[in-house]
Amino acid sequence: MLTRSDDYVAYCRETAKHARDPHDLALRGGKAHEITRLTHERIVEVTNLRAEDDLLDIGCGDGILLRMANAIGVHSAIGLLATEEEVAVLRPFNLNVRQGFTDQLPVPDCAASVIVCNSVLLIVPREKIPASLQEIHRVAKPAARIFIGEIPVHKQNDPTPQFTTRGELLSHLYHHNGLRAWFGMVRRMAWWQITGTPAVINPGTATTFWASPEEMIALAESAGLLLVRYWQHEHISTRNNYLFRKPD
């Protein structure tokens, strides 16, 4: 019997435990390398990231933006991840990463001149969004540039089907995710069997927050952020990107 869970923190923790490459933390599947590179090149451009900046990347994934920032020669670059397991994957690469949640950022007041929070808020529980935006405002320096990306404009259907048997799940993984994903799940199922662990599947594909541009802008303004502009995501037409700033 399979049980489904949509606990995204648990999903991140489990992904990190089985990660063979830091790009696995990007959580974009087989296209992680190219999509994350293009996305973050665009973020560097939009935020005008430069050497004098202090960068905070909330939900830094595989650390690609931190690497880009270090190549630019920024004053500092900090990345946050949801779990210590993810942090452990990136630590060997000499990146300044730490564990933290969006509504409790482990960063001092007025610490960052550029804040990036890309493809993160969509998996934060809706009731924690106001506190998360207030935390972004707190840690931002006056006049900081703040990029908040990939906010769905409406509720999205979870693309991952429900499975009632292990055979259905394995068949889906083989045909949609390839042999590596199939083999990884076989190993996990064997572990469940040996240890008597409950068979819990967490696909990590459910979204918990979405907002029209009007709602998103209103939430940000309530937290003290000012809109610079927003636009449709370049690769995902159902999501918007936002550029805010903190007042001087």
Domain boundaries, the chain: 8-156+207-245, 166-201
| pLDDT confidence of residue 202 | 67
DSSP state of 107: S
pLDDT value at residue 179: 84
The Cα–Cα gap between 9 and 183 comes to 23
Which of 90-99, 115-124, 202-211 has the lowest average pLDDT? 202-211
Q: pLDDT band for 1, please (50, 70, 90 cuts).
A: low
Give me the mean pLDDT over the 85-100 stretch. Answer: 94
What local confidence, expressed as pLDDT, does residue 200 receive? Answer: 73
Report the Cα–Cα distance between both ends of the chain, in Å, rounded. 56
Residue 180 scores a pLDDT above 60: yes
Whether pLDDT at 170 is above 90: no
146 against 199, higher pLDDT: 146
Please determine, for residue 28, whether its predicted confidence score (pLDDT) is greater than 60. Answer: no
Highest mean pLDDT among 85-94, 178-187, 206-215, 239-248: 239-248
Span 179-187, average pLDDT = 79
pLDDT band at 207 (very low <50, low <70, confident <90, very high): confident
pLDDT tens for residues 57-81?
999 999 999 999 999 999 999 999 9
Measured between alpha carbons, how far is 234 from 118 in angstroms, rounded to an integer? 13
Which pLDDT value is given to residue 27?
A: 56
Most confident of 13-27, 147-161, 173-187: 147-161
- Mean pLDDT confidence for 101-120: 97
Of the two residues 54 and 236, the one the predictor is more confident about is 54
For residue 192, pLDDT over 70 is answered with yes
Question: Does the pLDDT of residue 30 top 60, yes or no?
Answer: no
Contact 184/230 with Cβ under 8 angstroms? Answer: no
Q: How far apart are CA 149 and CA 152, in angstroms?
A: 9
Task: Report the alpha-carbon distance of residue 174 to residue 197 in Å, rounded.
Answer: 23
Reported pTM: 0.83
Query: CA 141, CA 2: separation in Å to the nearest integer?
Result: 47
**Strands in 163-246 per DSSP E:** 200-201, 226-232, 239-245
The order of strands in the sheet holding 112-118 is 97-99, 76-81, 54-58, 112-118, 140-152, 239-245, 226-232
Q: At residue 225, what are phi and psi to the nearest 5 degrees?
A: -95, 150
What beta strand segments (E) does the chain contain? 3-4, 54-58, 76-81, 97-99, 112-118, 140-152, 200-201, 226-232, 239-245
Run of H or E including 146: strand 140-152
Residue in 116, 140, 102 with CA at minimum distance from that of residue 241: 116
CATH superfamily name and code, 8-156+207-245: Vaccinia Virus protein VP39 (3.40.50.150)
